[in-house]
Structure 1
Amino acid sequence: MPAIRLFGLPTDINSSFERGAAAGPAAIRVQLWSDRGNMASELGPELGTDIAFTDDGDLALTEDTRRDDAMIRRHVALVREDGEIPLALGGDHAVTFPLVEAAAACFGPLNILHIDAHPDLYDDFGGNPRSHASPFARICEAGHAARLVQVGIRTLNRHCREQAARFGAEIVPMAGFIPDAVPVLDGPLYISIDLDGIDPSAAPGVAHPEPGGLTVRELLGVLHKQTAPIVGADIVEYHPGRDVGDVTAILGAKLVRELAALIDRNGHLEG
């Protein structure tokens, strides 16, 4: 079974409203290793016991987006050279672009499951084409997405609706949501989880809370039904300064365990 490599991407230079997500990886890691919980996943296997798992710590990012993108791509390439699967903690959602770019360099266009309140398809946002509101526009423009399925969306404005049509994004909105509406994707599969995709009652620690989101149980149902080999994943947009009682960090740690168990269960794809 594949080994999993966790690493943090402590940057929020491309955040559009309020910075704070750069502190997210360290805060999630505290809860991951805390004696408050344990390493068990709901799928059964335990992190570090049944699942080979290494934590590389945080990359030394610089707030120069071009340099940071290159550093992220290099790190993913090193992880892949070791035959392991990258699992990244953001940071803002802009980091998903170089993560997907590096995975696509190994596997070709990916099937992407994107959990979010927002589609992140802006052509640019505030004059910044690398905004955290734009990563999936950049991914699709570059041809890195064979299929993009976006789940939890509840802020779809006219521009992003037009962008979704342009790129062929498949949006599963929250209005009338049922987990069965989410398709089971083929591999190679990449999973990106923006924590604001979850309802703010369960995940208040985000810069852009949007009422009416996924429950934790709905999210786990969507994840656990995926059966394809996973070639990378990220958890992004945790803002510790807006959290309440560390509940969002605790959720982030749980999602690390659940994604690791899912990667382990679904098996390995050679790149």
Structure 2
Amino acid sequence: MTYDLKPGDVALMGIPLDGHSSFLQGPAFAPNRIREALHCGAANLTAEDGTDLGATDRFKDTGDLDVFEMRGQEPIDRIENEAAARIATGARLLSLGGDHSVAFPLIKAHADRHQGLNILHIDSHPDLYDTQDIGPFGHGCPFARVMESCQINRLVQVGIRTMNKHQREQADKFGVEVVDMRSWHADLQLSFDGPVYLSLDLDALDPAFAPGVSHHEPGGLSTREVIDLIHRFEGQLVGADIVELNPHRDPNGMTAMVAAKFVKEIGARLLMR
């Protein structure tokens, strides 16, 4: 099913999967919570550049994938196939996780379509583990799987503050460019030649701004700093995901509203040709 997608459209896709989470379940409930925040009436659908997602027929919600209780290889394959079907129409895909394991099949689908794909990964964790207790598709492993399996030009990680010895070795092995929080500065300029995929883990933000995540990592980015990154990096954005909202830990839907804000800003950028 293509949901009547056309070149230049932006397709929203929910991925209610948290079977690859290593600590807490809950992110499987995130896609609908983000939609509720997006349409709650407390705000509107206009991004900061004036793009009104509610006034265009090019922003289309294609629903959720049926992966709620899946684990292992099966959901990975289904996510990749469903993502590939949507982007084959010429639409650009904005996915709502779910835990961060969804990034691997999403990026694989984009790398197969976009030669020389770059990745901008915003997160507190590098997610480069070779494997976890829950297996090689754990939400701490997706970027190891990506770098092993996909033709990636550059992987740039921003916001990292949990880099241990194993993941540092993995980063060196794969040639990952890491901008950790110790070296972060607000006027950081990132520039990419060619297509860019953005993977945004909400725990990149300091818990003061996004408490509704499974892993609270103090010392992170502000909401404003992430928005500025979305606006400012140079390169052609071709796809994105927003992951790791855990509604079970989200007081008053605060983090869902932050995620909805990111949907508007990323959606507006994806609509740009």
Identity fraction in percent: 45
Q: 1:166 to 1:40 in 2, by over 3 A?
A: same
1:40-90 deviations in whole A, cap 9, x for unaligned?
A: 101211103247101111111140432212221221122122210110000
Equivalent position to 1:13, from 5, 14, 19: 19
Match of 2:60 in 1: 54
Contact map agreement 1:51 1:264 (CA 8 A) in 2: no
Contact map agreement 2:47 2:264 (CA 8 A) in 1: yes
Contact map agreement 1:151 1:182 (CA 8 A) in 2: no
Match of 1:121 in 2: 128
Letter in 2 for 1:107: H
Match of 2:42 in 1: 36
Query: 1:176 and 1:263 mapped to 2: Cα distance?
Result: 28
Q: For residue 108 of structure 1, report the CA deviation from its aligned partner.
A: 2.9
Query: 1:104 and 1:55 mapped to 2: Cα distance?
Result: 23
Equivalent position to 1:191, from 198, 201, 213: 198
Normalised to the residue count of structure 2, the TM-score between the two structures is 0.93
Contact map agreement 1:27 1:249 (CA 8 A) in 2: yes
Query: 2:133 and 2:16 mapped to 1: Cα distance?
Result: 22
Query: 1:188 and 1:153 mapped to 2: Cα distance?
Result: 23
Match of 2:167 in 1: 160
The answer to whether structure 1 residue 101 and structure 2 residue 108 are counterparts is yes
Equivalent position to 1:150, from 154, 157, 163: 157
Equivalent position to 1:173, from 150, 175, 180: 180
Deviation beyond 6 Å, 4+ runs, structure 1: none
Q: 1:204 to 1:51 in 2, by over 3 A?
A: farther
Q: For residue 176 of structure 1, report the CA deviation from its aligned partner.
A: 3.9
Equivalent position to 2:29, from 10, 18, 23: 23
Query: 1:84 and 1:74 mapped to 2: Cα distance?
Result: 15
Equivalent position to 1:241, from 234, 239, 248: 248
Query: 1:124 and 1:183 mapped to 2: Cα distance?
Result: 30
Query: 2:227 and 2:257 mapped to 1: Cα distance?
Result: 15
Contact map agreement 1:92 1:132 (CA 8 A) in 2: yes
The answer to whether structure 1 residue 262 and structure 2 residue 261 are counterparts is no
Q: 1:149 to 1:56 in 2, by over 3 A?
A: same
Q: 1:51 to 1:182 in 2, by over 3 A?
A: farther
Q: For residue 228 of structure 1, report the CA deviation from its aligned partner.
A: 2.1
1:188-208 deviations in whole A, cap 9, x for unaligned?
A: 100000000011101000000
Counting only pairs closer than 5 Å after superposition, residues 54-93 of structure 1 correspond to structure 2 as 54-61=60-67, 62-93=69-100
Query: 1:182 and 1:88 mapped to 2: Cα distance?
Result: 25
Q: For residue 230 of structure 1, report the CA deviation from its aligned partner.
A: 1.6
Unaligned runs of 5+ in 2: 1-6
Aligned residue pairs total 266
Contact map agreement 2:34 2:259 (CA 8 A) in 1: yes
Unaligned runs of 5+ in 1: none
Q: For residue 244 of structure 1, report the CA deviation from its aligned partner.
A: 1.3
SS of equivalent residue, structure 1 residue 186: strand
